[in-house]
A and B are shown apart, each in its own frame.
Chain A
Amino acid sequence: MRTYLAILACVAFSVAQASDVRGKVNLANGKPASHCVVYLEGGAHSRPQKGAVVDQKDRRFSPHISVVTVGTDVSFPNDDTIFHNVFADYDAKRFDLGMYARGQTKHQVFPKPGVVALMCSVHPDMSAYIMVVDTPYYAIADANGDFHISDVPNGDYQLKVWHESGQTSFKAVHVAGPESVEVVTRRP
């Protein structure tokens, strides 16, 4: 299982105080790491967000992958025609929102960073991830693995990647202008 980090190009796009960080993430097998979460640590701490929602509709969680900052209260509306349940093992314990009917909405605050794998106890095929981060600089890559984090203040950061396959990556980046980063994740 070869693990390597390859930087194909490093072009600094320098603004006075802030720059955009762009890049592409591939999986270890060379395929694009679609919808992977990319975030930079080492800068300012985040503040809780408002209006973070994971909807339940057509027996699916939507969005499949979402990123929230620490302390964010995420609402889980049941927009489906059937009963749903939301539970997950989080912070070394399980929260379970119980069964609730359509039209109802339940909430859950995520005070610590980490990956939350959401499950519906009645529909085992339903799945969704919430990535809880303690940084304001994050992005979710598109289907091609391309990502774009804007307005990152110049400085040194840890670039972290998480993909739902479980592959992750770490990379130290120095932001001093517009920067493009190529990342290959590695298998767990």
Chain B
Amino acid sequence: MTFITDIRDYPWTSLLAGILPKRLAGFLPRRFQATTSQIVPSASIAGNALTVVIAIMTFLACLTAGAVYMVNQSASAWVNDIASEITIELDPVNSPDIEKKITLVSLFLAKQKGITEVRPLSADDSAKLLEPWLGSTAALSALPIPRLIAVEIDRSSPPDIELIKTALSQNFEGVTLDDHRRWQAEIRTLTRTAALGGISVLGLVAAATIAVIISATRSAMASNREIIEVLHFVGANERFISGEFERHFLGLGVRAGLVGALAAAIAFLLLPVIMHLMGGGIVTEAETRRLVGSGELDIGGYLLLVLVVVVVAGLCMITSRLGVIRVLKSYA
């Protein structure tokens, strides 16, 4: 109930004035301007150094969250792609008429339930898949390159893969089926590892932010001890006094958070340019794309950055409140 009362009684209309720098707050419409002076003056709370530290923390948190989000999106796309496809591999050794065998296997597969498309890859297509490693050379045609059949499956009613696998091995010699499970598992492991690493970094950033805010709260209270005493004398309780400090730290958190998130958003926008400037070529770009997809955040990614700002501001507010109450208790 106290929390609901806090929300209800919060001076929302003057919050914007508290967040904006003083010289900009003056341009706000009258109803958004604070009617009376702040009981605890902003200047006594924290200098620019604290704002810069929180902005850097937010920047790092946003970079981490954004990178994990991109890796996750890219991995999901991979998993989706490979989960809706299986590959049939035909061993060219001991298959004098490989083209006939491909046709037969393709016909067999097309008859199976749950298969939407069967696409045999030509010898040239198979050779092209090896080009990144072996280059474009005439020697490729002399190599016994396995022939592939790409099979699209209906994800809403998938076929019985194990049954098809058994039927293929019984009816055709040297034909194997790869349902990409190994790759899916590896991608999931990669995603989980990236997420775990990201969460660890976010945890460290949150811990550092909390430590900085606790220290700033203590010094703010020490420099405003006289104001706190007067507030006590006029009957202010812990909630009121902590609210006065908390409002400043919320404003600081939002301001610094927005700066950090904006810097991170710009960094994500400029990522391809930065890579290019750092000397990255087509290969670097291709590898990056493989890891993080398009390398750009979508709307969900930018919403995640906004969420980071909200969390940082909330962290500043809650930490300062708890810090103030703790110091007030020590005064008592």
Interaction A to B: no
B binding-site residues for A, Cβ under 8 Å: none
